[in-house]
Amino acid sequence: MTHAVAHEGADLGRASAVQRSFLERVLGELLLRDPAGTVLDRIDDPGVAAAEAVDHVLGSAERWTDHLGGFYDVDGLRTVLARDGRPVSRQAVSKRRGLLALTTGSGRVVYPRFQLVGGAPLAGVDGVLRELPEDLVSRWTVASWFVSAQPDLDGDTPVQRLREGDVAAAVASARAWARALAA
């Protein structure tokens, strides 16, 4: 992985609100975990360490996007689910059952795009989610399962089966997986 090392005295005034929030939280974690800065004092090149930390954070997000195929944020989902050209309310999105909502490390809620087709939730996602309660398995793991080949689906992904209209097979696969996790 290549490292683009920031120059000394970077113009923090150009940072977006999200970037400033991230920097504040990183600083908070540093102060909590290394209040005197003694651990950081042992780092030979803080620029390289910072670049590696950013590569880790941004690379992780990119890997999830590559694996899951992209996300909608709440406003994007409001637009996709629009009725008569009018976006649904934020409240309608947050209360909607039957869609997989994921919370990012920064606290944002995102929705994998794979679960929507033609402006509507993919039929059967709700049934699958009922088989996989949040106290049993993380939502990120469930998202990965949806797009990963499953042996009991003859190597198809649950999303493929749902798109083909084979809701029963996808739900049965989820049920079997839940039993295996609970055992």
The pTM of this model reads 0.65
State pLDDT tens for residues 93-104: 777 778 999 988
Three-class HEC string of 73-134: EHHHHHHHCCECCECCCHHHHHHCCCCCCEECCCCCEEEEHHHEECCEECCCHHHHHHHCCC
pLDDT at residue number 24: 81
pLDDT at residue number 1: 47
Indicate the average pLDDT of the chain: 84
pLDDT at residue number 57: 62
Contacts of 179 (CB under 8 A, 6+ apart): none
Cα distances from 97 to residues 2, 67, 129, 157, 177, in angstroms, run 41, 24, 9, 22, 21
Q: Residue written as tokens 């670049």?
A: 51
Q: Where are the domains of the chain?
A: 12-68, 71-182
Is 129 within 8 Å of 142 (Cβ atoms)? yes
CB-facing half-sphere around the CA of 170: CA atoms within 13 A:
26
Count of beta carbons in the 10 Å neighbourhood of residue 83? 9
Query: pLDDT under 70 in the chain at which residues?
Result: 1-10, 51-52, 54-62, 64-65, 67
State pLDDT tens for residues 90-132: 887 777 778 999 988 778 889 999 999 988 899 999 999 999 9
Query: 97 — phi, psi (to 5°)?
Result: -95, 155
